[in-house]
Amino acid sequence: MIEQYVVGLREVDETQVAVVGGKGAHLGGLSRIDGIRVPDGFCVTTDAFRRVMAQAPSIGDRLDELARLDPDDRETIGTLSADIRRTVEGIAVPDDLAAAITRALGRLGEQGAYAVRSSATAEDLPTASFAGQQDTYLNVVGPAAVLRHISRCWASLFTERAVTYRRRAGIDHRAVAMAVVVQRMVFPEAAGVLFTADPVTGNRTVATVDAGFGLGEALVSGAVNPDVFTVRDGVVVGKAIAAKQRAVQAVAAGGTREVAIDAGRQEQPALTDEQVVRLVRLGRRIEAHFGRPQDIEWCLADDGFQIVQSRPITTLFPVPEAGDREHHVYVSVGHQQMMTDPMKPLGLSMWQLTAMAPMHEAGGRLFVDVTRRLGSPASRAALLEVMGRGDPLVRDALETVLERDDFVPSLTDAGPGGPPAGRAPAGGAPTPIATDPALVTGLIERSQVSIAALERDIRTKTGPALFDFLLAAFEEHKRVLRDPLNLQAIMAGMEATWWLNDTLLEWLGEKNAADTLTLSAPGNVTSQMGLALLDVADVIRPHPEVVAFLRGVEDEGFLDELGKLAGGAAARDAIESYLDRYGMRCVGEIDITRPRWRERPATLVPLILDHVRNFEPGAAERRFEQGRQKALAKEQDVLSRLRALPDGDRKADEAARMIARVRTFIGYREYPKYGIISRYFVYKRALLAEAGRLVRADVLADEEDIFFLTFQELQGVVRSNRVDDRLVRRRKDAFRSYHALTPPRVLTSDGEAVTGAYRRDDVPAGALIGLPVSAGTVEGRARVVLDLGRADLAAGDILVTTFTDPSWSPLFVGIAGMVTEVGGLMTHGAVIAREYGLPAVVGVEGATRLIRDGQRIRVHGTDGYVEILS
């Protein structure tokens, strides 16, 4: 292949990122759009960069050293990257390469002024913009200066900020090359940035324009506040004109300088409304060309706009594909299921195939379309009621959308759609079901029989027959969930809890009375899971050699080694027994691709060791009995106080019936999820066995590549024995990028992430507001934990995290309180917090950012707020 060192800007397009980098490719694409003016220029290609880099082979060793560094080790990264930059800038540009660049300059005007701009191959990508990470030089005059600044652009691939950005984005330093764009300099009257979608709300129907006088560098650097214009449907609907005291202008001899703006001109708009609308129209044309919202840098010269850069807006949350032009309102499934992390494609498709309601994917998350239910007055009330009970922020966001009269169409019939976000339907009347523990026992037995049949029958299924079997198994999975008695049992405990909280507040003036009445409720498989790990610790505690061995565990083969130690066989058997019952669970368990405890038992070792250290023998039984006694005492107290009221006997009888209902059914609230995850582990093992056969047949490179295919795509691979490796790679890249996105609770088809608010004025100034889910007040040290495997908790600590799912319950037995960013009254963490008597506040926006690890905080679990103490 003949190396090409210089190529004209209009000879390339956005498909040639590998040759001219992201910026060069996008500028080439822009130059091909009718009506879009791009300053003329050329690209010094990545071939030129590689040739120059080959002259300093020692750089490779330093790149390897950079790759091994922690991204937070800024000092070492800064030292090493500066060393690499000095080396690159010191390499002489080869004569033939310099001649090619000089010839290109001659065609444009050798002594003209130019912008010399970095264009890396990992830049302006749909998943990572790299905005501002490499260098740009303006008003460079003369061939010698252009060559010198091209070398500086090559070196800027290794700025400390660029190196750190790549590490955090999971991009290999060696996989990135640098091209350089050289363009005729534009000397604008005004310049700025156009976002073709609102960068704050995500609304795709709104464009925003930032504008200032002179070159755009003043805006980009933050030296001046820009004028800000908001445009919707071709009309300026909002504007804020800033006092623009300074501007950046070109200097005749080269370079730029900052100048003061005349006082009489400072508050004049940099653009007229007509110019703003014309600019947005150009932006829409660019957006249509690239197929996604754009962040566009523009210049205004002689009343004409020139575009000097366009890149994807990578911070926007994607919009689910609806296949029509109608308005849609989506509610996050992850906020209901306590798993807002992105899911891999197999996990997404498996949840969609087994859920009780249709779901839509965006950004690696699932959403339920609630538009029709919002449009019907009858179903709207029920939807808002159940959403408000679970998460007031979701309800407030939905009400915000409803206030826009023209967005949700008014319907007379809500139509099909099932319960919101996979929940059981809610109604005003109590669920018609007898308060009989035998009902719960029967439901659990039926579920266990169904799962046993699944485990038995799947063993003989392979190849295409496995997928036919699984599709039938998914129907059985949904049949168990849709069993009317199952839904009635779930709702019975929830409704009784709501009734007790609402009614006892009215009758006795007591908030959240049900929190104590649900302590140590029988039959809660999730709280039992937490207590059972205390029993495992009891087996291990008497054996110092086993404890010492577990402190050094680093891999998953430790169970085989345990049996060789004194007391090790009993310890191994206790852990194995625990895994037999709960080994299908893990953090983020609704994603079938997440590693289960049975697959990675070492995950449990730190929790076991914490229990060995922090608890005395028999703690599980004592804790459960203490909770049961508190609940009984609370019941007697409530009933006694009610009987002393007017019409007290009737009120006490009603409350007694509801307390019995709570005690009977609230524990079952956790069982259906346990059944789902038990089935998921059966499905997963069968699919991984099939993946192993594909690897042995050289169809797949790795078993876990199936995680980046949907169930339907995997079915096709098994039938054809062929896989699209490029699709798998694209999915892996996309999955990495989704981690940087924050999923909204409510999302519209316009792309707007609607943020709800707590409408409360009953909390102290400065307190963090949330939803009270477990009564009581506790003060202690905050431990901000983002990874369950790295939790370092002592007795009395308060857990602060983004969300908890059932896998976190073993941690609950050793803490004094809990604060989460996501959650609702009946989500798993809230239910277990009440069972363990932990004061808890959930739905605290930004809790892990606003509360620092180690700070003292006070959690008001009854009133729903958190105070940060001095």
Active site residues: 828
Cβ pair 589, 680 in contact under 8 A: yes
Task: Report which of 367, 828, 833 is spatially closest to residue 627, judged by C-alpha positions.
Answer: 833
Q: Count Cβ atoms below 10 Å from residue 546 Cβ, excluding itself.
A: 22
Cβ pair 842, 808 in contact under 8 A: no
Sign of the alpha-carbon torsion through 319, 323, 329, 331: negative
Task: Report which of 667, 589, 610 is spatially closest to residue 811, judged by C-alpha positions.
Answer: 610
Look at residue 570 and give its three-state secondary structure.
Answer: helix
Helices (H), 596-724: 605-614, 619-643, 648-665, 671-696, 711-720
Using alpha carbons, list the distances in angstroms from residue 274 to 216, 278, 279. 20, 6, 9
Cβ pair 30, 14 in contact under 8 A: no
Cβ pair 152, 111 in contact under 8 A: no
Cβ pair 370, 331 in contact under 8 A: yes
Classify residue 40 as exposed, middle or buried by CB count within 10 Å of its CB (0-12, 13-18, 19+): middle
- Host H or E run for residue 820: strand 817-820
| Bridge partners, residue 79, by sequence | none
Q: What CA–CA distance (Å, rounded) separates 705 from 245?
A: 56
Q: What CA–CA distance (Å, rounded) separates 367 from 374?
A: 15
Helices (H), 320-417: 333-337, 345-354, 371-375, 377-390, 392-402
Task: Pull the structure tokens for residue 224.
Answer: 């001046």
Q: Count Cβ atoms below 10 Å from residue 635 Cβ, excluding itself.
A: 18
Task: Pull the structure tokens for residue 395.
Answer: 């309800």
Which residue carries 């490719």 as its tokens? 25
| Bridge partners, residue 307, by sequence | 298
Tell me how long the chain is.
870
Q: Mention every residue, 6+ apart, whose C-beta is less than 8 A from residue 860.
A: 767, 772, 777, 839, 841, 866, 867
Q: What CA–CA distance (Å, rounded) separates 797 from 818?
A: 9
Helix axes 46-53, 95-108, angle to 10 degrees: 150
Burial 160-187 (b: 16+ CB within 10 A, else e): bebbbbbbebebebeebbbbbbbbbbbe
